[in-house]
Structure 1
Amino acid sequence: MTGDGVALTFLAMALPFAAALLAPVAVRRLGANAAWFIALVPLAIFIHLLRFVPEIAGGEVVTGGYAWVPSLNLSFSWFLDGLSLTFALLITGIGALIVLYSGGYLKGHPQQGRFLSFILMFMGSMLGVVMSDSFLMLFVFWELTSITSFLLIGFDHEREASRRAALQALVVTGGGGLALLAGLIFIWNITGTTQLSLLVHADDILRQSPFYMAALFLVLGGAFTKSAQFPFHFWLPNAMEAPTPVSAYLHSATMVKAGVYLLMRLNPVMGATPAWEILLPFFGGITLLVGALLAIRQTDLKLMLAYTTVASLGLLVLLTGFGSAYAVEAAVLYLVAHSLFKGALFMVAGLIDHEAGTRDVTKLGGLRAAMPVTFAAALLAAISMAGLPPFFGFLAKEEIYAALAGSGPRSVVFTLAAIIGNALMFAIAFAVALKPFLGRKVETPKHAHEGPALLWLGPLALALGGLAAAVFSGAWHWAVSSPMASAVSGVTKNVTISLEPHIGLPLALSGITVILGVLVYLGLSRARQAMERLLDILGPGPDRGFDVFIRGLVRFAFGVTRIIQNGRLDVYVTFTFALLALVLLIPLFAFDELPKMPAWPDDVHFHELALFAIAVIGLAAVLRSKDRLTAIVSLGIQGFAVAVIYLLFGAPDLSFTQFMVETLSVVILALVMTRLRLSPADHRTLIERVVDGGIAIACGLGFSLLLLKASQVPFDTALTDFFNTYSKVIAHGANVVNVIIVDFRGTDTLGEISVVMITGLAILALIRIRVTPVAAGQKSVAAIEAENAGREKTP
């Protein structure tokens, strides 16, 4: 990529975040017209990305970026091939329509600017996920999608249901993100690469590694949570508490497909193994059936579509891992078709709610005359979702059956799962598209009428997009389907399916699906009642289990906190030093690292022994002191004795530091203690003295043994040589110690100075505290505490 191309692509990735900062200002200044202006941002990115279509369709890839930490092989880099480019076009193209839709849906809302800002931040995060080349970038943007979706799902934060749904989505997808991070670290260590563009050429290194299964399970944890695979499927329908533009964008066309994107991206290096071809179809098949069956139970239009989204994600995961000749092509076609028709249907559901005042399908009917454009968009999108010609959904369904159908037991089982799932989704598609519009007119909470252009432009454009992609399938496959399938499979693929008649088993299976779908649609009320009875028998599902898990986690955290954070400083200090003693002593004894005891030197002078004796006398004075002030002053005797010892052994700078620290310590302690009574000593039981004394001796012994051991190790002069060599050259200082503190450890020294300053301010605040006189007839705090203590002692 040329320098201009690199700069423009970097700008395209950063532009949504910049626009997010300006969105609230644009809404305040432009009002209802702000959406048209803000939509230019994703539209501009979409147009920029379209420039890469001919190059990538020709079999090339586009890479670029900047080296960040070259020594660790970390970079801010991007990677565009058929897979990432298709996702990026969907994110920006649908994103532009969602921004327009949001402008009409939230018209007049006081927080419309904040909402559009969140949408743009999510758009930038999702764009980063699919364009990232480095593992670090992928993980950062992956977690940003979780954070921004949390903000969007909980947009209506005054409602408890919205807050719960947002927290649930964040916990599930954020936890999966941590699993993904661990999986990426495994892959990094196995292959030695941190870039996806290099990883796809890593041959069988990953598959043949003994750590392949560990990496696979961790990656699947991240992908399954993000793409709502069973048993993590429950968060997606609950996320429908978000405003409808969020549902149409995040939870049908973009975020929930991030997990599918990850699996497709890693298919060339982690696929084609027994574990991959067992786990993905198994969990994908279960998710397909669970989502489709639960959709039948719903009466809320958004929930009906949400559960079919779960089913569709399961179908995509099933196809990604199935491993047959046409499975990848089927997954590619269905992913694009699903983004188009499901985004349109979600916007239709929101439009109905906006104009009629309800989303309950049992309370809707006869809206066709009042909302003709909405009805047309809903019908066109439903035909594609049902897999009927001449829409792109038909091509995807035919390819699905061509990929799954076979004579083996495995093929039969997953083909049956696909037929049942597709038939149920067929019924839901037409339940959403027909029942609110046909039949007798039903009185709705609001007088229904056609919405403004901002609301119906998006669904109509996406529905017609599904028609155009099928009619012009040759050009579409050249630009989108074939490059994407080639990237997912790792070898060149040429997708050729079209609307031309193709008699065979896939068409027959499509016919069976349509018949079953019509039957379910006609008996939808009975099917809904049957699912209600079945769910009553099965009892609470994973959604209730999540609540139980969170309550248990909170109780556990509360119990642990009560033990380790009981509010008593003496307990904290005791445990801290006890743990310190264990850390010092256990390795020395467990690994036989005890030092050799030094021999008594022959040239010990009297004044040196006297200084050690003074330190010991100071220690005895501390232990035997009758009041706190004496203990504080006696503590300073030890410090001054140690400072003189440093001076005698040739460390004047260290001695000076010790003198200063000891003086300040005594003064600070004395100032703090002025707020207390200094005359009495603390009453301590014999057990307390033994325990505290034992811990103190253990800590002292541990430090002594460790220092002795360290002094007996051969001295490594590497750091000494480095500082002696570069202190004058780089820092222009002759005093090596000063250079280390000020230059090489400048940030650390600044931190130490800040700590001292904060401590000084705290001491100053304590000194300036004035005790408020107790008014007549009122009791002081001390008097109340004394009374309470007396009551506790009373039998």
Structure 2
Amino acid sequence: MDVAALTFLALGLPFVAALVAPVLTRFLGQNAAWLLALAPAAIFVHFLRFLPEIAQGEIVTGGYAWIPSFNVSFSWLIDGLSLTFILLISGIGALIVLYSGGYLKGHPQQGRFFSFILMFMGSMQGLVVSDSFLMLFVFWELTSITSFLLIGFDHGREAARRAALQALVVTGGGGLLLLAGLLILWNVSGITQFSLLLSFGADLKESPFYLAILLLVLGGAFTKSAQFPFHFWLPNAMEAPTPVSAYLHSATMVKAGVYLLMRLNPVLGGTPEWQILLPLFGVTTLIAGAALAVRQTDLKLMLAYTTMSSLGLLVMLTGFGAPHAIEAAALYLVAHALFKGALFMVAGIIDHETGSRDLTEVGGLRSAMPLTFLIALAAALSMGGLPPFFGFLAKEEIYYALSSFDRRSIVFASLAIVGNALMFAVAFAIALKPFLGPKQSTPKSPHEAPVLLWLGPAILAVKGLSVALMSGMAHRLISSPMASAIAGEPRTVTISLVPHVGAPLLLSAVTVLVGVVFYFNLARLRGLMTAILADIGWGPDRGFDQFIGGLVRFAVALTRRLQAGRFEIYMTVTFMLVAVVLLAVPAYYGELPRAPFFAADVPAHELAIMAIAVAGLFAVALAADRLTAIVSLGIQGFAVAVIFLLYGAPDLSFTQFMIETLSVVVLALVMTRLRLSPSDHRPLRQRVPDLAVALACGLGFGFLLLAATGVPFDATLTEFFNDHSKSIAHGANVVNVIIVDFRGTDTLGEIAVVMITGLAILSLVRLRAGSLKRGAEMQQPAAEERA
């Protein structure tokens, strides 16, 4: 099997695994995790084979035509950026599946959870390898839908349902902005694939639509990656089970926006707008997330806000524009995935084994959980940017990029120090406070976690160490190709455990010192942030509730205004709009048809048929009751059927005869079961506007028919049906073949409409009959009482 077919199968494998997950879990229980983890592990191994080729600067593309007429394909692009992401997604995904087997052991819906997490994994994998705009958008929205299912997994709790809805609304709305941006990008460039777009960057930046494209793309990326002020959905997503939080924050959904910005950096980056908006929003998110993290005592919430902070740092670096900023973003993204995934799983272990994840309620766990303590400490050392872990390399590269002495670099470097120092304090608060100090009473007696729980975080923590120790090989295979893909030009990463002597090392040392101060004053910082937020009061999270509430109230008011409950109003408005479209549009563009030519030698029988049709109109309008009007409606139908017959369409004429007969009979039968009051009892002031609307619609359709018949006849379809009815559909009657085969779906729809109409009529008749019966039953006791 060739590489393209294997890649296609690899991208579809998570969805196949999601289908069988409930069945496997039903029979194997938590042991199903070992089998299900083979799917992401196989994907990891498959894409691992691309490393040597990508390290040499190659780009692998492939795929299949999806909608060829619109140049839309199911295609993939594998370069240093997408390969790094898919290795993180599949590698960490395999560990998350194993972790889920232990964390949700005995849960009655564990199979459903496995199915959701695997679908989420497949959606994220498809997103990061997408070469086609449309393919990226489809998988982008799939990540929103599957994350909605995961966040709301415990749907019995209102908080989980609210968090899931909030995430879906925010990220789904951002997805619509992204779609608009991609459509404009497609319209401006004429390109639908990222691999071809890279050469169009200079022209795109000079386009008058550049700013619109940039703002729309940023709207999609910022909502997905929880940039301020769209950050509020991310902490609320902690209502999901811990495996979801660990996966969502380390390698998947929240990094999708960062991935998009990195992917489009060669095309949209380098402009003043890019280098202003991204660093501004990024550094704001960095500080806000870190400050909100120190206020929390819930371990997952502390980690969630530091994820928000880290995402802001990545966005800031992606748009900063300084030398080595791209390299720093590439390094920090990998380092963050490793240490944050490990710390989230550690938080889940503490919660699972003690029954609490509140920092003030757990302590002294070191003796009972020594392995978990070592894992937490290793991950915290990397998050704090201390050697010999990969986080240290990332932090050194960040300060190397920010260590220029211009005013802009000084401001952003100072803010980065504050943000990183706060994250340092949070990291060690999570790694030390639950394990050191006096032992506290917890809901459950603490003990070391089973292998399914500690295996994943242990591997990630060790990986954060080993990658730093083998940084030369890691840079050659991962960091340099990734930085090159983000920059759109060759970049070489050389940072090692030997630090930059100079300003970067000094800034790193200042960060550690400030972080230590913050750590020992964490309680004071928590109180300060609580007081500040209390003074501020209103925030984006509360604003979301107000927005949704206002939207619902507006929708209700608008619906009551437009849907007044009177069918007459609906029909009048509908026909008024039809009349406006048929008359105003041609009149505005000067395309009203010319007056028809009436031949002098029209046969008398044709004139008689037309006179009968006109007489039928007056019969309907002047009918004394509804039943007479319904019967009179058949006059026009039969007249039209005769006209079809006269012009050589006997089959169409027969169909018209049948439809008119059935319509009149059915309507007459129905009306005999309903009230047959006078046909039109309204005053003249109401009848005249309706007459005007009816005449306008009739005139509009007449103009449309004249315009259609006034153009030269195009016999292309006629020739196609004549040539292919026998050979393709094996039918000699062309009209029947068109209705049954070539337009079979239309015919099916028409049959469905007739069936639904029949059911509606039957319901009305039964409702009327039941109402009359109940009325008679209610009147009988009253009559007996009077008697």
TM over 0.5: yes
Structure 2 alignment gaps of length 5 or more: 783-787
The whole-number CA distance in structure 1 between the counterparts of 2:763 and 2:545 is 45
Contact 1:248 1:346 in 2 (8 A): yes
The whole-number CA distance in structure 1 between the counterparts of 2:776 and 2:260 is 72
Deviation of 1:51 (Å): 1.2
Contact 1:156 1:162 in 2 (8 A): yes
Corresponding residue for 1:647?
Answer: 645
The whole-number CA distance in structure 2 between the counterparts of 1:588 and 1:193 is 35
Q: What are the within-5 Å matches in structure 2 for residues 40-59 of structure 1?
A: 40-59=38-57
The whole-number CA distance in structure 2 between the counterparts of 1:686 and 1:503 is 94
The whole-number CA distance in structure 1 between the counterparts of 2:251 and 2:228 is 19
Q: What are the within-5 Å matches in structure 2 for residues 400-415 of structure 1?
A: 400-415=398-413
Distance 1:779 1:146, change over 3 A: same
Corresponding residue for 1:433?
Answer: 431
The whole-number CA distance in structure 2 between the counterparts of 1:14 and 1:588 is 50
Q: What are the within-5 Å matches in structure 2 for residues 535-684 of structure 1?
A: 535-678=533-676, 680-684=678-682
Contact 1:292 1:311 in 2 (8 A): yes
Corresponding residue for 2:140?
Answer: 142
Deviation of 1:127 (Å): 0.7
* 2:219 maps to 1:225: no
Distance 1:97 1:761, change over 3 A: same
Distance 1:626 1:26, change over 3 A: same
Structure 1 SS opposite 2:199: coil
User: Which moved further from structure 2: 55-64 or 606-615?
Assistant: 606-615
The whole-number CA distance in structure 1 between the counterparts of 2:387 and 2:291 is 25
Corresponding residue for 2:346?
Answer: 348
Structure 2 SS opposite 1:201: helix
The whole-number CA distance in structure 2 between the counterparts of 1:97 and 1:446 is 25
Per-residue CA deviation, residues 311-353 of structure 1 (Å, 9 max, x unaligned), is: 0000000001111110110000000000000111111111111
User: Which moved further from structure 2: 295-304 or 187-196?
Assistant: 187-196
From 55, 73, 77, the counterpart of 1:79: 77
Deviation of 1:31 (Å): 1.6
Q: What are the within-5 Å matches in structure 2 for residues 767-786 of structure 1?
A: 771=770, 774=773, 778-779=777-778
Corresponding residue for 1:60?
Answer: 58
Corresponding residue for 1:442?
Answer: 440
| Amino acid of the structure 1 residue aligned with 2:444 | K
Per-residue CA deviation, residues 344-380 of structure 1 (Å, 9 max, x unaligned), is: 1111111111111111111221111111111111111
Structure 2 SS opposite 1:647: helix
Corresponding residue for 1:123?
Answer: 121
Deviation of 1:720 (Å): 3.6
Corresponding residue for 2:370?
Answer: 372
Contact 1:668 1:763 in 2 (8 A): no
The whole-number CA distance in structure 1 between the counterparts of 2:736 and 2:627 is 36
Corresponding residue for 1:500?
Answer: 498
Deviation of 1:141 (Å): 0.8
The whole-number CA distance in structure 1 between the counterparts of 2:406 and 2:489 is 26
Contact 1:370 1:450 in 2 (8 A): yes
| Amino acid of the structure 2 residue aligned with 1:454 | L
Corresponding residue for 1:714?
Answer: 712
Structure 1 SS opposite 2:203: coil
| Amino acid of the structure 2 residue aligned with 1:658 | Q
Distance 1:201 1:734, change over 3 A: same
The whole-number CA distance in structure 1 between the counterparts of 2:476 and 2:157 is 47
Structure 1 SS opposite 2:66: strand
Structure 1 SS opposite 2:74: strand
Contact 2:363 2:434 in 1 (8 A): yes
The whole-number CA distance in structure 2 between the counterparts of 1:75 and 1:529 is 54
Count of aligned pairs between the two proteins: 782
Deviation of 1:43 (Å): 1.2
Per-residue CA deviation, residues 415-473 of structure 1 (Å, 9 max, x unaligned), is: 11111100110111111111111111111122122111111111111111111111111
Per-residue CA deviation, residues 651-670 of structure 1 (Å, 9 max, x unaligned), is: 43443332222212111211
Corresponding residue for 2:204?
Answer: 206
| Amino acid of the structure 2 residue aligned with 1:387 | G
The whole-number CA distance in structure 2 between the counterparts of 1:617 and 1:186 is 55
Deviation of 1:695 (Å): 1.0
Deviation of 1:772 (Å): 8.2
User: Which moved further from structure 2: 188-197 or 393-402?
Assistant: 188-197
Contact 1:253 1:342 in 2 (8 A): no
Deviation of 1:289 (Å): 0.8
Corresponding residue for 1:753?
Answer: 751
Corresponding residue for 1:394?
Answer: 392
Deviation of 1:566 (Å): 2.7
The whole-number CA distance in structure 1 between the counterparts of 2:640 and 2:49 is 74
From 111, 116, 119, the counterpart of 1:113: 111
Structure 1 SS opposite 2:360: helix
Contact 1:629 1:679 in 2 (8 A): no
Per-residue CA deviation, residues 103-140 of structure 1 (Å, 9 max, x unaligned), is: 11111111111111111111111111111121121111
Q: What are the within-5 Å matches in structure 2 for residues 7-26 of structure 1?
A: 7-26=5-24
Contact 1:154 1:165 in 2 (8 A): yes
Contact 1:299 1:360 in 2 (8 A): yes
Corresponding residue for 2:415?
Answer: 417
- Percentage identity across paired residues of the two chains: 71
Deviation of 1:30 (Å): 1.0
| Amino acid of the structure 1 residue aligned with 2:238 | M
User: Which moved further from structure 2: 151-160 or 77-86?
Assistant: 77-86
The whole-number CA distance in structure 2 between the counterparts of 1:718 and 1:231 is 56
Corresponding residue for 2:785?
Answer: none
Per-residue CA deviation, residues 19-38 of structure 1 (Å, 9 max, x unaligned), is: 11111111111123121221
The whole-number CA distance in structure 1 between the counterparts of 2:146 and 2:507 is 41
Per-residue CA deviation, residues 613-656 of structure 1 (Å, 9 max, x unaligned), is: 32232222222222221111111122222322333344434433
Distance 1:70 1:588, change over 3 A: closer
The whole-number CA distance in structure 2 between the counterparts of 1:656 and 1:774 is 41
Structure 1 SS opposite 2:64: strand
| Amino acid of the structure 2 residue aligned with 1:225 | T
The whole-number CA distance in structure 2 between the counterparts of 1:115 and 1:223 is 27
Deviation of 1:724 (Å): 4.1
Q: What are the within-5 Å matches in structure 2 for residues 107-506 of structure 1?
A: 107-506=105-504
User: Which moved further from structure 2: 392-401 or 616-625?
Assistant: 616-625
Corresponding residue for 1:792?
Answer: none
Corresponding residue for 1:789?
Answer: none
The whole-number CA distance in structure 2 between the counterparts of 1:23 and 1:645 is 63
Deviation of 1:401 (Å): 0.6
Corresponding residue for 1:786?
Answer: none
Contact 1:614 1:638 in 2 (8 A): yes
Contact 2:143 2:253 in 1 (8 A): yes
The whole-number CA distance in structure 2 between the counterparts of 1:233 and 1:501 is 34
Calculate the aligned-residue CA RMSD, in Å.
2.2
Structure 1 SS opposite 2:172: helix
| Amino acid of the structure 2 residue aligned with 1:361 | L
Contact 1:387 1:394 in 2 (8 A): yes
Structure 1 SS opposite 2:200: coil
The whole-number CA distance in structure 2 between the counterparts of 1:320 and 1:205 is 21
Per-residue CA deviation, residues 725-768 of structure 1 (Å, 9 max, x unaligned), is: 44455445454433333333222122223333443455566667
Distance 1:83 1:658, change over 3 A: same
Per-residue CA deviation, residues 557-585 of structure 1 (Å, 9 max, x unaligned), is: 11121122233222221111111111111
The whole-number CA distance in structure 2 between the counterparts of 1:637 and 1:440 is 96
Per-residue CA deviation, residues 210-250 of structure 1 (Å, 9 max, x unaligned), is: 21111111111111111001110110001001111110001
User: Which moved further from structure 2: 602-611 or 366-375?
Assistant: 602-611
Deviation of 1:66 (Å): 1.6
* 2:683 maps to 1:685: yes
The whole-number CA distance in structure 2 between the counterparts of 1:775 and 1:423 is 77
Contact 1:671 1:763 in 2 (8 A): no
Distance 1:504 1:551, change over 3 A: same
| Amino acid of the structure 1 residue aligned with 2:400 | A
